Amino acid sequence: MAWLVAPIVMAEPQGLSGQELVVEGYPSSVEATGDDGRTRVLSATLQNADDRGLDRVIAGDRIIVEGSGYNPASGIYVAICAVPEALNEKPGPCLGGVPSTTPGEMSEEGAIEYAPSNWINDQWAWRLFGARSFDDAEQGTFTAYIEVPGFADENVDCRERVCGLYTRNDHTALDDRVQDVYLPIDFVG
């Protein structure tokens, strides 16, 4: 089990993502160059919602999230989370929580599985715990499939807190804010 703990203990923060705390409007794509020199692009497309954007999301919506420029040496969580009050604070809490890190069945390679949050980590061992691989580790690209659970749960109420569709480092680098990139999101109703 020590081989699983080592990445958690050894990860060193790389800085901030370079994205402003407040993103104007509800763009479908944002770009930020982090303190680590990587330029990350985060994009989202609402499925079957031609008349709506990220400013009018409803429970049950499915969102295809794509990213590029991410560091595959650190896994990421993709979820709808509360926007923190400062850039050096971890986004959250998140709707649906974050993916489980308990052992389970490994997903079929390339399988599309919608969930309130997705976990992207290129290390084979973490795939046993439910992580998806990066699409192209060299380019830091990924695709995540989010199914919106609603505007509130036991973790956060996005009617009372400003929320966004976030990427953030997974538990292997929890204190590192360099991959905190988000798209603003709002709910209908």
What is the model's pLDDT at position 2? 43
List the domains of the chain with CATH numbers: 29-185 (2.60.40.230)
- The 76-82 sheet, strands edge to edge: 117-120, 76-82, 163-169, 181-185
Residue 69, pLDDT > 50, answer yes
pLDDT in tens, 22-65: 999 999 999 999 999 999 999 999 998 878 999 999 999 999 99
Residue 12, pLDDT > 60, answer yes
Strand partners, 79: 117, 166
Question: 18's torsion region: left (phi>0), alpha (psi -120 to 50) or beta?
Answer: left
pLDDT in tens, 80-134: 999 999 999 999 999 987 655 444 454 555 567 899 999 999 886 666 667 889 9
pTM, two decimals, is 0.88
Closest C-alpha to 71, from 188, 152, 186, 176? 176
What is the model's pLDDT at position 124? 67
